[in-house]
Structure 1
Amino acid sequence: MKSVGIIANPASGKDIRRLVAYGSVFDNHEKSNIIKRILMALDALGIQHVYIMPDLSGVGSKALDDVAISLSAQFLEMAVDGNQQDSMRAAAMMNAMDVGCIITLGGDGTNRVVAKTCRETPLLPISTGTNNVFPFMIEGTLAGLAAGLLAAGKVGVEECCLSVPYLELSCGNEIIDTALVDLVVTDDAYIGARAVWEPESIKEVFLARARPTGIGFSALGGYLEPIPSGSIKGMHIVAGKGEKAVRAPLAPGLISELSIASYRTFGPSEEIPISRLPATLALDGERELSLDEADEMSVRLRSDGPVVVDIDRALWLAAERNLFVHGAKRPTSFN
């Protein structure tokens, strides 16, 4: 039986899109309550050890207040800087500890940095961010059950997990950064507020996911040409005067129109240069890099992304195996 790791980003769900749109606010009290429910589910399945990323806001420590569990929950021994490096550092430590699953509480941006260092460790992302294309809107108890089943060996990684594609930004042979959902090229002169919501600033969009059921730039691509889940295809959109204009929810409650000069899908074998320079690049909804006209950057789709838990599949398999039913012919003990 393996342990489980929990990474909760105290800053997720609080960016400027709460002011310019109507994004949900997940305060840290609610994040602590979600962790409580995760811990109770893991405890019910007999998981013995849980490791939690420490944070300056006390999200993890408050989750341990007045929770009746027998498992051992302890904080990683690590430096805490109060930025995204904390999540990267925690994910790397949990991967080295060979935890059975890492549960994250955050949005697309949180999971982007965790995916950089979690390697092959299965990821179970719970949505507490803004656009939330990558993580799941799932009750913490169910997430804890799915993670516990996987860590306990009751369901296998090959049965209920899938490696998802992602975008890789490079300069020549050097990898600069990655994105799980979208890479957006804007004409902003500086990074400023990290979130992107103004359609008039957009020059190009690269997508690893194009879902009409999503929000943000994934929805933009999904309305043009949906890419099914499990498909190893990306999309490149060039904004500008053309025959098409798309209205899409670029943020919660914010329906914006973008004129499309061209778009096409592409596969892992293609490398597409960023041609609209100078520019600022936003990765998974947050501005990260400024480029000038001399920068030669390109984007490609990678098929070997993070291993993500299919929560529905894990719970269906557990039900089929009577793991929740006492007195069944098949094994019923959680422990």
Structure 2
Amino acid sequence: MTLVGIIANPASGKDIRRLVAHGSVFDNIEKVNIVRRVLLGLETTGVERVLYMPDYFGIVPMALEHVHLNMTVEPLKMYCEGTQDDSTLAAKLLEDEGAKCLIILGGDGTNRAVAKGSVAVPFMSVSTGTNNIFPCMVEGTIAGMAAGFIATGAVSAEEGTFKTKRLDVMIDGRPSDIALVDVALYDDIFLGSKAIWNMDKVKELVLTQAKPSNIGLSSIGGMVIKRPLPQDKGLHIVLGPLDSGEGLEITAPVAPGLIKAVKVLDCREISMEDEIVFDMSPAVIALDGEREVELLPGKKASVRLSKNGPRVVDIERTMWLAVQRGRMTNHGK
């Protein structure tokens, strides 16, 4: 029985960047509407069963109202704490259940949490967060159909997905956490509200992506290198005070509507398995735009570029292949 998992984060798209920047609120009713269209798209492709992460808002149960589906849609048997750990646990359980694709509604932080639970199952990442570099803007119907074609085998994962990079964060040489887009060394001693908006405190960046069209810290890299970053490379950037007489001053959109000048002292490409050591403690390490790790006095942190990111559905390629194979042709009608 073909199984697809749905992880819809009810907290995405609502953090403090609505106050300190100009991020729009992505309300949960719209997530309900997206999931409803996702489910209809999945059923069209022949998916037989869906398991979903339960949440305090009831996104999927509300999406099931007023639609009739022939496929089975059930919640995972798990206790939810209302934290990002729910997404991590749900991903692990869905992998254990044999899910062939994970449909994720959220931003970079949600996808990072899911990747901590599973990178073996392809991601269909639908953007409903604040910083949306890893997930893509896609209509829910198409997201469901593309995920369904991968899950049913109409298009194989080798054909219809692409591999991504990740950043492994180590504390004193031991794995501590991961990021999918960026890791930032932040000159502070407490996590606070998590989201970053004060660029004066950002001292170093390690990036898997660097595009001027991105929103968030990875846009800084795009402003510096002025060309696409190779797939097998990452970027390490050292920042300094704006009044420094050295370095390159650039302007970048570090959050929605928040365009800041920063001083780049050094920028270099890094290769797979290269490790960047942070020589500052105490400090805070931000992962994909959110302060997550407290670096205590005397501790050493490092970041390693890894090829072991999740596979992500290539929507356009998957849809073309499905059409070419007659999956959207009604023979005999």
TM-score class normalised by the smaller sequence: over 0.9
| 2:271 aligns with one of 267, 270, 276 | 267
Query: Judging changes above 3 Å, is the alpha-carbon distance between structure 1 residues 230 and 51 closer, same or farther for their aligned structure 2 residues?
Result: farther
2:125 is the alignment partner of 1:125: yes
Q: Which residue of 1 aligns with 2:319?
A: 315
Q: Give yes or no for the alignment of 1:201 onto 2:174.
A: no
1:247 paired residue among 251, 254, 271: 251
Q: What amino acid maps onto 2:55 in structure 1?
A: D
Offset of residue 229 of structure 1: 6.8
Residue of structure 2 equivalent to 1:97: 97
Q: 1:103 is paired with a residue of what secondary structure?
A: strand
User: Structure 2: how far apart are the matches of 1:96 and 1:309?
Assistant: 20
Per-residue CA shift, 1:75-115, capped at 9, x if unaligned? 01111111111111110010011111000000000000100
Cα displacement string for residues 224-259 of structure 1 (whole angstroms, at most 9, x for unaligned residues): 115647611111111113330110100111111111
DSSP 3-state at the match of 1:61: helix
**Residue pair 1:207, 1:218 contacting (<8 A) in 2 also:** yes
Q: Equivalent residues in 2 for 1:215-294 (5 A)?
A: 215-225=215-225, 228=228, 231-240=231-240, 241=244, 242-294=246-298
In 2, Cα distance between equivalents of 1:188 and 1:172: 19
Relative to structure 1, the CA distance from residue 56 to residue 157 in structure 2 (aligned partners, 3 Å threshold; closer, same or farther) is same
Specify the alignment match of 1:111 in structure 2: 111
Deviation for aligned residue 1:47: 1.2
In the TM superposition, what whole-angstrom CA distance separates every residue of 1:5-34 from its partner, at most 9, and x where no partner exists? 000000000000111112121111111111
- Identity, % of aligned pairs? 45
Relative to structure 1, the CA distance from residue 38 to residue 229 in structure 2 (aligned partners, 3 Å threshold; closer, same or farther) is: farther
- 1:303 maps onto 2:303 in alignment: no
User: What is the distance in 2 between the residues matched to 1:17 and 1:282?
Assistant: 15
87-96 or 17-26, larger mean C-alpha shift: 17-26
Kept in 1: contact 2:281–2:300 (CA 8 A)? no
Contact 2:23–2:257 (CA<8 Å) still a contact in 1? yes
CA offsets 1:107-129 (integer angstroms, 9 cap, x no match): 00000010011231111110000
Aligned equivalent of 1:87:
87
1:204–1:276 Cα contact (<8 Å) kept:
no
CA distance in structure 2 between the aligned counterparts of 1:174 and 1:292, rounded to whole angstroms: 15
Deviation at 1:172, TM superposition (A): 4.1
Aligned positions, number: 329
The question of 1:154 aligning with 2:174 is answered no
Q: Distance in 1 between matches of 2:96 and 2:269?
A: 36
The 4+ residue runs of structure 1 with deviation greater than 4 A are none
Is the 1:13–1:129 contact (alpha carbons within 8 Å) kept by the matching residues of 2? yes
Query: 94-103 vs 39-48, which deviates more?
Result: 39-48
Residues 288 and 229 of structure 1: is their aligned pair in 2 closer, same or farther, counting only changes over 3 Å? same
Preserved CA contact (<8 Å) 1:203 1:276: no
User: How far has the Cα of 1:171 moved from its partner?
Assistant: 2.7
Whole-Å separation in 1 of the counterparts to 2:303 and 2:6:
31
Report the alpha carbon displacement of residue 147 of structure 1 after superposing the two structures with TM. Answer: 0.5
Q: What is the CA distance between 1:312 and its match in structure 2?
A: 1.1
Cα distance in 1, alignment partners of residues 228 and 67 from structure 2: 41
Aligned-partner SS, 2:210: coil
SS for the counterpart of 1:249 is strand
C-alpha distance in 1 between matches for 2:64 and 2:73 = 8
> Does structure 1 conserve the Cα–Cα contact (< 8 Å) formed by 2:173 and 2:302?
no
More off after superposition, 32-41 vs 242-251: 242-251
What's the CA shift for 1:221? 0.5
Q: Deviations over 1:234-293 (max 9, x none)?
A: 111111133301101001111111111111110113211002333111101111122234
User: Matches of 2:230 and 2:210 in 1, distance apart?
Assistant: 11
Q: TM-score, normalised by structure 1?
A: 0.95
- Partners of 1:252 and 1:320 in 2: CA distance: 39
SS in 2 for 1:224: helix
Corresponding letter in the other structure for 1:278: P
Unaligned runs of 5+ in 2: none
What is the root-mean-square deviation of aligned Cα atoms in Å? 1.6
Q: Distance in 1 between matches of 2:234 and 2:36?
A: 37
Moved more, 240-249 or 101-110: 240-249
Does the 8 A contact of 1:164 with 1:230 survive in 2?
A: no
Could you tell which deviates more after superposition, 169-178 or 202-211? 169-178
